[in-house]
Copies of this chain bind each other. A is one copy, B any other.
Amino acid sequence: MTQPRFLPLAEAQAPFFVGVDVGGTSIKIGLVDELGRTLGFSRIPTEPELGPEAACERIGNEVRRTIAAAGLTLPYVARVGLGTPGTMDVVSGKLIHPHNLPGWHEFGIRDRLAHHTQLPVSYANDANAAAYGEFWVGSGRDFHSLVLLTLGTGVGCGIIIGDLTIVGENYHGAECGHIIIDYREDARPCPCGLRGHLEGYASATAVVKRTDEALANGRKSSLAGRIARGQELSPLMVAEEAEAGDTLATEIVMETAAFVGIGAASIMHTIDPSGVLLGGAMTFGGEGSELGRRFLARVKEEVSRRALPVPAAKTKIGFASLGGDAGYIGAAGIARVEYRRK
C-alpha cells in the first residue's frame, strides 16, 4: 500500500468525509476532504474473532481519534462511507455472508457503525468502493465510466458508469471474477466451485496452480530450485524469477496477462467503459516495475486481439493509481455522493 500523504487542514476544502474499508485482516480509516484528498489515516486490526459489534465500537473510537488528530471535530464531518467484502444487502445495510469475516453473518453493520460514530453512514461493496475511488481521484478521474479489476487472491471488480455504481439487483453486480471465459467441461475450477470463471485463470491462486502444474509436467525453471530449498511457491516468487529472466515464470506472468485481457474484452463488450483499470498485488509491480509494464503491454495486446475494432482502439487500459487507499477514499466518495443528493 502506498502511504498517504496527508493534506494540511489549512489547504483542505469542507465538507469532510470519513472512509472505512473493512478487510479480513485490517480496517483502514481515512479522513478525506471534498476533493478526495486524505487529511488523516489509520489502520487497525480487524480481529474478526471478536465479532462485528466490537469492531464497530473500535472503528468508532478510531474515527474520532483520526478526526481529532487532523485538528477537526465531529460536526465538520458530513458522512461516513463504509465498504465491506462479500455478500451484503446494501439497502438494509447488512452483511450477509462475508467469507473472510467468519461469524459476521447477517449483521446490520451500517446502522451499528452509525451508532458508534454518531454519523450517518453510506454503505457499499468494497470492490465498488475501490472503483469509485479510482473514478473520483485516481487513474479514472478523467473517465466517464470505468471497470476496475483488482487482481489478488481472487479477481475483484467494480463498475462505475457516470455517478452510477453497478451494484446489481441482488448486490452481485460487477462479480466479473466469475464471468465464463471457457465454457468447456474440462475448464479450470474457480475457488467458488464452478468452472471456467476468469478467477480460475487470473487470480494469485490460479497463478500458483498453473505454475505447479507446469513444474509437475517437467518444465525446467529456477522456481524448482527455490521450492527444493523449502520455499513455498507464491506469485511473488514467480514474479521474482520472471524478473530474473526465468522462461517458465515469465510465461506464467504473460499468460496471466492474456487471461486478464480476455476477461477485459468480454466486459468491454458488455459495458463499453471509458477505461479498464488494473489494481491489486497481481499487477506484478505495476507502472513502477519493468515486469509490471510488460504485464500491462501483454494485457493490451490481448485486448486488441479479442475486442471489436472500436473499443479495441478507444478503451483506455491502465493501472489503478490509489493502491490500497482506493477502498477508503472511494467509500468516502460514495458518502459524498449520497450527501450531495440529500
Chain A residues with CB under 8 Å of chain B are 87, 144-145, 159, 161-162, 164, 166-184, 192, 194, 259, 262, 265-274, 305-308, 310-311, 314-315
Contacts and interface: CB of A to CB of B under 8 A. Distances in A.
Given A166-B271, A194-B305, 19 more contacts: A144-B169, A145-B169, A161-B164, A166-B270, A169-B272, A172-B268, A172-B272, A172-B308, A173-B271, A173-B272, A174-B270, A175-B269, A179-B269, A180-B262, A180-B306, A182-B184, A192-B308, A267-B270, A270-B271
11 contacts: A87-B310, A144-B169, A161-B166, A166-B270, A171-B272, A173-B270, A174-B270, A175-B270, A180-B181, A180-B262, A267-B270
Nearest to A311: B172
Tally of this chain's copies: 2
A170 B177 CA distance: 24
B179 A182 contact: no
Nearest to A268: B172
Contacts of A307: 178
Contact of A175 (B169, B192, B272): B272
Contacts of A194: 305-306, 308
A168 B314 CA distance: 12
A166 B144 CA distance: 13
A315 B170 contact: yes
Nearest to A181: B183
Contact of A270 (B176, B181, B192): B176
B170 A310 contact: yes
A310 B173 CA distance: 11
Contacts of A180: 181, 262, 265-266, 306
A102 B127 CA distance: 44
B144 A178 contact: no
Contacts of A271: 166, 168, 173, 270
Contacts of A315: 169-170
Nearest to A174: B270
Contacts of A144: 169
A314 B170 contact: yes
A271 B271 CA distance: 9
Closest 8 CB pairs of A and B: A168-B272, A173-B272, A172-B272, A179-B266, A178-B269, A175-B269, A183-B262, A181-B183
**A144, A167, A175 pick with most chain B CB within 10 angstroms:** A175
A18 B310 CA distance: 31
A311 B310 CA distance: 31
